[in-house]
Chains A and B, each alone.
Chain A
Amino acid sequence: NAGVTQTPKFRILKIGQSMTLQCAQDMNHNYMYWYRQDPGMGLKLIYYSVGAGITDKGEVPNGYNVSRSTTEDFPLRLELAAPSQTSVYFCASKGEVAQYFGPGTRLLVL
């Protein structure tokens, strides 16, 4: 049981490049979330999903896109990377009570 896994662990992007942050969970959870964490700002919700085929915007969705074709996977897409997207990105899934977070992806946009 791996829980929530994220790839890559670290990535450097140039301004304007695109990339997909991968997230997968093996707990059969319907609810999944993407957060970004900037120093001193806590966790900001980007997008979330309540099941396969269903996604919704969080607090800071601009510049990101998501899809949820399976229960296990919830990838986050950055289409045109900007320096403001430099952050640590956490994916999480939620069971009956708790959210379980992945180890995070550190993204640097230069």
Chain B
Amino acid sequence: QQPVQSPQAVILREGEDAVINCSSSKALYSVHWYRQKHGEAPIFLMILLKGGEQKGHDKISASFNEKKQQSSLYLTASQLSYSGTYFCGTESPHRDDKIIFGKGTRLHILP
């Protein structure tokens, strides 16, 4: 089942912080975060695994609440290059290797 992302869109000024949320109605093994710029392919940012392990970007942080089946992506001191659409992808504990993506959150950074 498709995870739900919020908000749908965010407009920030450079230097401001943003939080993007991802929630699932089912138990999760992992949450993946990707960023896509207009007309380009999605790029991997981070993966959060059950048990708290994180792997990925050194300038963006995230959390994973396994009990609530939720993840949040934290963008601090946003830069113009952070603009794009952010997708979370979820993987079930069954480890069926399917990664199901949410509808995305559009982030626009103003100078």
- CB-based contact B47/A43 at 8 Å: no
- CB-based contact A42/B104 at 8 Å: yes
- CB-based contact A43/B98 at 8 Å: no
User: How many positions in chain A have a CB within 8 Å of any CB in the partner chain?
Assistant: 24
Interface residues of chain A: helix, strand, loop or mixed (majority): strand
- CB-based contact A43/B42 at 8 Å: yes
- CB-based contact A31/B98 at 8 Å: no
User: How many positions in chain B have a CB within 8 Å of any CB in the partner chain?
Assistant: 22
Closest A residue to B30 by beta carbon equals A97
Q: Is B13 an interface residue (CB 8 A)?
A: no
Given the known interface contacts A97-B47, A98-B44, A101-B42, the answer about A42 and B101 at a Cβ–Cβ threshold of 8 Å is yes
Given the known interface contacts A50-B97, A98-B47, A99-B32, the answer about A42 and B42 at a Cβ–Cβ threshold of 8 Å is no
Q: Is B55 an interface residue (CB 8 A)?
A: yes
Given the known interface contacts A42-B103, A42-B104, A48-B98, the answer about A101 and B55 at a Cβ–Cβ threshold of 8 Å is no
Min Cβ gap B7→A in Å is: 14
A45 contacts across to B, CB distance below 8 A: 98-101
A104 contacts across to B, CB distance below 8 A: 41
Having A59-B100, A98-B56, one finds 5 other A-B pairs with CB under 8 Å, namely: A42-B87, A90-B41, A94-B97, A97-B47, A101-B41
Residues of A participating in the B interface, judged by any CB pair closer than 8 Å? 31, 33, 35, 40-45, 48, 50, 56, 58-59, 90, 94, 97-104
